[in-house]
Amino acid sequence: MNVAVEHIATDQPPDDAKARDLDYGWQPGNRIELLENGEAYFPAVFEAMRQAQREILLETFILFEDKVGHELQGILIEAAQRGVKVIVSLDGFGCGELSPAFLSELAEAGVKVQMFDPAAKIVGIRTNWFRRLHRKIVVVDAAVAFIGGINFSADHLGDFGPEAKQDYAVQVSGPAVADLHHFALAQSGRQVRTRRGWRRRQQRPSLWPTHTDDGLVRLIYRDNLQHRDDIEEAYIHALSKAQKRVVIANAYFFPGYRLLREIRNAARRGVQVQLIMQGQPDVLLAKLAARMLYDYLLKDGVVIHEYCQRPLHGKVALVDDDWSTVGSSNLDPLSLSLNLEANVLIRDRAFNQQLYQSLETLARNHCQTMPEKRKPRLWLWRLTVGFLVFHVMRHFPALTGWLPAHKPRLKPFESQAHEH
């Protein structure tokens, strides 16, 4: 038995492209809850899925066959069996080790499982490293949505041990969920329609809302077509507006010069700028790359903390006392130039303060702060090489696009009955 969904090209779904290439505007009147680590995220998202009555849309970069993955599998199977439409989009690299039996159990229960850009191993090595589906989005009944940096794996729980990740997500209720639902539905290849308030590319909404009410949320995303720089531009614009404080906590930090310059310029005009980086990285190269930029920032007053308690996986930032962002996008070449990402921008004073207190606790109690004056040895060389490496990475889509594994697509999971 073949259990499958139709073959879908992710950059051009079968429905009207006008319903796809949209800039979502600021939506007022939302309730936003910060979810720190798996201890807060998994109970909230699992309970929402258990209560689902009509539909569950799920995108994730990583799903492992551990206690979190098996609990998710059971919830999705039970939902599908009671008639809920369940669509699960998994990245072919991040979820490349899932067993056929695990996926078959989902598909045979009625869950529509589709893999993003899968590729066969060559000499036992996976080759589909770039242009990943890196988003982490769940939308339930078009009524509640979750978005952030947390994957469905046990390494987001403290009892995983020293390698447990520090990370963040948000739960959104209110008008912005309609945008998240529309986006997730379109990305899964389903038929969608535009609605009043959604704008085409030539009528871009303001990066900074004109009204100052709390509860404002805007969905932004990055693709490899018309929205290549949306997340980066949002960061740059917010930094240019900063007047009092900026805190950026990002697992993989190696941005382009424009964003780096805006961070430096904010510090130069007296804004208190703090960066929280990995001190115990899960990828050593990430730490080495970030450190190549330290001197450039430190000399202008940017305060840099390295989080040393466990690996930092968060992708969050705040500016002044009301602007924040949470999502899947790191500030490195993979996220800013290659991967498919999604963040929410938030204008809400209470949320901003809650996020600030969480990050301030990390910085104060679990970080090593870099000295203002580091050894100047080879700093110019490091900075020069750093920018060279970045700009090479910026052109990776053109350099690597000819490889079959880099032609983004959603492919149905095919299951053979009674195959275990």
Catalytic annotation, pick one of 141, 214, 229, 321: 141
Active site residue 237: no
Catalytic annotation, pick one of 156, 182, 315, 406: 315
Residues forming beta bridges with residue 331, ordered by sequence position: 253
Active site residue 91: no
Active site residue 134: yes
What region does 397 belong to: left with phi over 0, alpha with psi -120 to 50, or beta?
alpha
Catalytic annotation, pick one of 23, 112, 136, 156: 136
Q: Residues with Cβ < 8 Å from 392, sequence gap 6 or more? A: none
Active site residue 214: no
Catalytic annotation, pick one of 227, 305, 313, 406: 313
Active site residue 117: no
Q: Residues with Cβ < 8 Å from 294, sequence gap 6 or more? A: 304, 370, 374
What is the C-alpha separation between 207 and 220, in angstroms, rounded? 10
Catalytic annotation, pick one of 320, 322, 366, 407: 320
Token readout for 98 is 């899932």
What region does 270 belong to: left with phi over 0, alpha with psi -120 to 50, or beta?
left
Catalytic annotation, pick one of 112, 134, 165, 227: 134
Catalytic residues: 134, 136, 141, 313, 315, 320
